[in-house]
Amino acid sequence: MEYFRFWPVCVALGWAFFHCAGRFSSYLLVPASARKTTIQAWKWKNVSVSFLHSLITGTGACVEFYFYPAMAADVIHSYSMSSHILVSFSIGYFIHDALDMALNNMKKSTYELLVHHVLVILCFGLAAVSGQYLGYALVALVIEVNSVFVHVRQMLIVQGMAKHAKPYRLNSLLNVATFLVFRITTMGWMTRWLVVNRDVVPLPAYTLGSVALATLMVMNIVLFFRILYADFRKAKRDGSGAATRPSASGGGPSDRIQSTIRRLVRGTEEEEVLSGKTD
């Protein structure tokens, strides 16, 4: 079968497209509420570009499966030029986003996101180079349907919208629903497929897929509980109306373990806006 040979051009075009989209967003689309600080303006630009990628690739993956059902029937050998272009285009985004974060927001939470991006680039790169596993890559891109709502949530936070506001609450419900359907269920199917088809997947590809899926599954489970904690918890209030916090004295071992788990799930307020970048 003749594969699309110009996929590196699509990768480069993907990078250029999202780079230009980021420039456009920086100059024209940053709301006044996100212009208070340089970092807030950058966060808006970064998340709006991620939203655009999710909208394009999530929709594109669903369209591909609709018009080319064979891509779902055989996720290794099935092929369409449009899926090859879409996956290559997505690689360009992840390269752009990794560079954008490394150059403009290099801090503790960024390392987690860079690990995610490197794993995705490697897995999608295998599909783009070989012309195989494109169906499997498309399944991964279906996750971007949920990422649309994850990034809308982030943009609402950057704008300072109250979490009890109707638009925020509606997006939160859609976010959780699509998280379970398009992210957790999809990754569960991908894991099951990899285990069942162990014998037909070469060891290097199986190893890469296993490491990537295990890492991303953990990251996404943590992200899910962070979102639930931030958007749906009913904080206990003390007499002054402030949320109660663990005692600064530390407490016993069980208290310290619970405190560590809470910090892992909660994250920090500063990092919350980018905590959903595991798309």
Residue-by-residue DSSP string for 6-24:
THHHHHHHHHHHHHHHHHH
Q: By the 8 A CB rule, do 227 and 276 touch?
A: yes
Identify the pLDDT of residue 254: 52
pLDDT of 250 strictly over 80: no
**Residue appearing with tokens 């690689």:** 91
In the chain, DSSP finds a helix count (H) and a strand count (E) of 12, 0
pLDDT of 64 strictly over 90: yes
Tell me, what amino acid is at 256? R
Q: Is 279 domain-assigned? A: no
| Extended strands (E) in 11-120 | none
Q: Is 212 domain-assigned? A: yes
Q: Is 1 domain-assigned? A: no
- State the Cα–Cα distance between residues 273 and 262, nearest whole angstrom: 18
pLDDT band at 245 (very low <50, low <70, confident <90, very high): very low
**CA atoms within a 13 Å half-sphere pointing along the CA-CB vector of 144:** 26
Q: Is 277 domain-assigned? A: no
Tell me, what amino acid is at 16? A
**2-16, 98-112, 191-205: which has the minimum mean pLDDT?**
98-112
What is the greatest pairwise CA distance in the chain?
71
Q: Is 106 domain-assigned? A: yes
Count how many domains the chain has.
1
Q: Is 278 domain-assigned? A: no
Answer left, alpha or beta for residue 132, where phi above 0 means left and psi between -120 and 50 means alpha. beta
Residue 32 vs residue 231, higher pLDDT: 231
Identify the pLDDT of residue 252: 56
The tokens for 21 are 């989209």
The tokens for 103 are 């150059």
pLDDT band at 243 (very low <50, low <70, confident <90, very high): very low
Q: By the 8 A CB rule, do 76 and 133 touch?
A: yes
Q: Is 176 domain-assigned? A: yes
Residue 13 CA to its chain's centroid (Å) = 21
Tell me: the pLDDT tens digits for 189-242?
999 999 999 999 999 999 999 999 999 999 999 999 989 888 887 434 444 444
Q: Which residues pair with 243 in a beta bridge?
A: 237
Cα dihedral sign, 73-78-80-84: positive
Identify the pLDDT of residue 259: 56
How many residues are there in the chain?
279
Identify the pLDDT of residue 264: 52
**Residue appearing with tokens 């799930």:** 265
- State the Cα–Cα distance between residues 3 and 82, nearest whole angstrom: 11
pLDDT band at 48 (very low <50, low <70, confident <90, very high): very high
Mean pLDDT of 60-83: 95
- State the Cα–Cα distance between residues 90 and 18, nearest whole angstrom: 10
Q: Which residues pair with 237 in a beta bridge?
A: 243
pLDDT band at 31 (very low <50, low <70, confident <90, very high): confident
- The range of the structural domain enclosing residue 44 comes to 7-272
What percent of the chain shows pLDDT beyond 70?
83
pLDDT of 159 strictly over 90: no
Identify the pLDDT of residue 248: 45
- State the Cα–Cα distance between residues 246 and 193, nearest whole angstrom: 43
Global pTM value? 0.85
Q: By the 8 A CB rule, do 200 and 242 touch?
A: no
